[in-house]
Chain A
Amino acid sequence: MSFRKIFTQHIHEEKCHSLSFYQKNGGYEQARKSLHDWQPDDLIETVKAANLRGRGGAGFPTGVKWGFVPKNTDKPKYLAVNADESEPGTFKDRLIMEKNPHLLLEGIIICCKAVGIHHAYIYIRGEFVFAANRLQNAIDRAYSEGILGENCLGSDFTLDVTLHRGAGAYICGEETGMLSSLEGDRGQPKLKPPFPAVEGLFGCPTVVNNVETLANLPYILEIGAEAYGKIGPEKSPGPKLFCVSGHVEKPGVFELPMGISLRTLIDEHAGGVWKGRKLKAVIPGGSSAHVLRADECDVDMDIESLAAAGTMLGSAGVIVMDETTCMVDALLNIMRFYHHESCGQCTPCREGTGWLEKIAHRIAIGEGRMEDMDLVTEVCDRMVGKTICALADAAAFPAESIVNKFREDFVAAIENGGSPAWIKRHPASTGGAATHV
């Protein structure tokens, strides 16, 4: 079967986001069928059989997650749609929401029918004002056309959808942080278990799914689990949005089958490394993933292949760095991010991210010591797996891999009095306050 784009095939058409355009192209047919013809359990089994894996970062099998929600409960159940998209290097959900908002809404209807949910909240990051307006307009249209609300699409099913804007905090992308934020609190993650499927939003069973995950559902119903399972590798199939940014000629979002090779993605789709330069490093799955050296980039972009290569697909945010990049500066930039975004509840994370930033900083400004490289690894060992949420791991993975795979950059910065950028800006430097980006 040839590959058909489901997210981006129409994005260059001016009215692609409108309801009439969407419906003209078969939109809401699968939602209608799911409401009228499908039994909830059959929907869950189909999504399981299709092997749909979460697109938010963790790659958890979607049907299996839905199956964890208790069937007989007096409590209401909720869907919390993760549209926080704050993983550095990731900009795919924004594209869906701006260009194809009804596809997301159709996916939401299918999920809610499958799990027996009557209220979905879409948690969108506060910065996405344009996307939020687009999405709110789509929701309003769907209500006025009887697609949402009571008797959705002429069925006896009721579904409310509420768009909820965040206010700037990376940690609200973590699922329990997002639920805290939705409840009107600081976005602090909560200990699991209980998992959200059992005790989530407002203490009720809650499905948390990423925007892109849900946007796959209409297609799965349309072509069937078996055909869907044949797109890309068996264990993590499907069409996928890959985000490529950094030092490439044509950064952008590319819709390709899961399992495309990283080299093809960079060289053919993103136009190759910019300015005719050589590749130095790639972070394949958002800044939380282990970095790959150029000689490690012959790898396929799917969950299993990247795990085998010691990194992860994560959010599929591919950040490309050319030969001029100093990995000390890259480390400092990434660690500043995680230190800033740590919510501060857990000591290993709060202190660890601070330490990592501090160490990267002193190496970058020429005050580093050779022992600092091992110190990074040591600090990382004390962070991974020891905290409430995975933000600590997300900081440690790039840190330990950058230091250990690019030791020559660190040695040079320690020996030469700082990173090349620092030396250039401070020719006669004796150290001091850095103004690194």
Chain B
Amino acid sequence: MTETLAFSSEAMKKYEWLLTRYPTRQAALLPTLRIAESEFGELGVPQMRYVADLMEIPPALVFGVVTFYTHYRRAGVGTYHLQVCSTLSCALRGAGDVVQRITERLGIGTGETSECGLFTLSKVECLGSCDTAPVIQCNDDYHEGLSLEDVDALIQQLRDEAGKGSA
């Protein structure tokens, strides 16, 4: 990677504000990683290194933190990260069928990304929305109470959205 990474001035402002909210610098690490995630689109090794340098904390600590949590966008994830809740309440109401449907429609298994780079399929744990099971979190948005037809419609909607973006 030759391109040098850097926060935009707006992101830098947010980061500096963050530092005023905590008595230690390290406490701002999780929210700073969020900024990095939205600035750079993903958190790969170069991005993590950038954050470590910026915050003057050891890279190993940053790697340790990023890998401990499941919600950061790691490198290699598709444009749309379909995260299907597979915990008990969702499993009782058809989460397994939802996963299967996505696999059929997109030809990808759990943990895989579609060839077009648009979709990644993951199973995740309880999303705190069990009353509207089954639930998919796609990037930041929840899609709740999904029938299999809803799953098809969601995939179509995302495809359309992506098509518009590149047009």
Contact = CB atoms under 8 A, between A and B. Distances in A.
A167 B27 CA distance: 14
B79 interface: no
B132 A251 contact: yes
Given A164-B30, A186-B64, A126 B69 contact: yes
Given A186-B64, A325-B92, A437-B95, A85 B71 contact: no
Given A127-B71, A128-B128, A184-B29, A165 B92 contact: no
Contact of A167 (B71, B87, B93): B71
B131 interface: yes
Given A165-B31, A247-B92, A88 B65 contact: no
Nearest to A188: B68
Given A167-B72, A184-B27, A184-B29, A127 B137 contact: yes
Given A169-B70, A184-B30, A319-B88, A86 B126 contact: yes
Interface in B55-79: 61, 64-65, 68-72
Contacts of A76: 23
Given A89-B88, A130-B142, A184-B27, A245 B130 contact: yes
Contacts of A184: 22, 24, 26-30, 65
Interface stretch (A3-11, A141-149, A334-342, A376-384): A334-342
Nearest to B91: A437
A25 to B, nearest CB: 25
5 contacts: A76-B23, A162-B21, A186-B64, A246-B93, A437-B95
Interface of B: 21-24, 26-31, 33-34, 61, 64-65, 68-72, 86-89, 91-93, 95-96, 99, 123-133, 137, 140-142
Interface of A: 76, 85-91, 93-94, 125-130, 160, 162, 164-170, 181-187, 202, 243-247, 251-253, 283, 287, 317, 319, 321, 325, 329-330, 333-334, 337, 340-341, 436-437
